[in-house]
Amino acid sequence: MTDVLQFTVPWSALCSDNRKFLSGKFILTAEYRASKQALADFSAKAARKHKWKQATCALALRVTVCEPDHRKRDLNWSKNLKDGITLGEKVWWDDCQVRDEHWRFADCDDDDRLSLADCGVLQDGGAFVEVWAIGDAPVTPKRRRARAPAVAPESATV
- Give dist(CA 39, CA 7) in Å, integer: 11
For 79-113, the pLDDT digits (tens) are 999 999 999 999 999 999 999 999 988 765 555 55
Average pLDDT of the segment spanning 34-53:
96
156 occurs within a structural domain: no
Domain count, the chain: 1
Question: Which residue type sits at 69?
Answer: D
Measured between alpha carbons, how far is 126 from 11 in angstroms, rounded to an integer? 4
Q: Is residue 110, in this structure, part of any structural domain at all? A: yes
Q: What is the CB neighbour count within 10 angstroms for residue 53?
A: 10
pLDDT in tens, 118-145: 555 556 788 999 999 998 888 876 665 5
DSSP state of 155: P
Residue 75 inside a domain? The answer is yes
Q: Is the pLDDT of residue 61 over 70?
A: yes
Q: How far apart are CA 97 and CA 149, in angstroms?
A: 30
- Bigger pLDDT: 30 vs 89: 89
Give the whole-number percent of the chain exceeding pLDDT 90.
Answer: 44
Q: Which domain holds residue 9?
A: 4-138
Task: Tell me, yes or no, whether 47 lies in a domain.
Answer: yes
149 or 60, which is more confident: 60
In the predicted structure, residue 53 carries a pLDDT above the cut 80: yes
- CA 100 to CA 32: how far, in whole Å? 24
Structure-model confidence comparison of residues 51 and 109, the more confident one: 51
CATH code, 64: 3.30.1330.70
In a domain, 27, yes or no: yes
Q: Distance of alpha carbon 23 from its chain centroid, rounded? A: 27
Q: Of the candidates 83, 75, 139, which has an alpha carbon nearest to the alpha carbon of residue 105?
A: 75
> Is residue 147 over pLDDT 70?
no
Residue 114 lies in a domain: yes
Residue 31 lies in a domain: yes
- Answer yes or no: is 143 within a domain: no
CB atoms within 10 A of CB 56: 16
What span, in angstroms and rounded, lies between the C-alpha atoms of 9 and 121? 7
Residue 97 per-residue DSSP state:
G
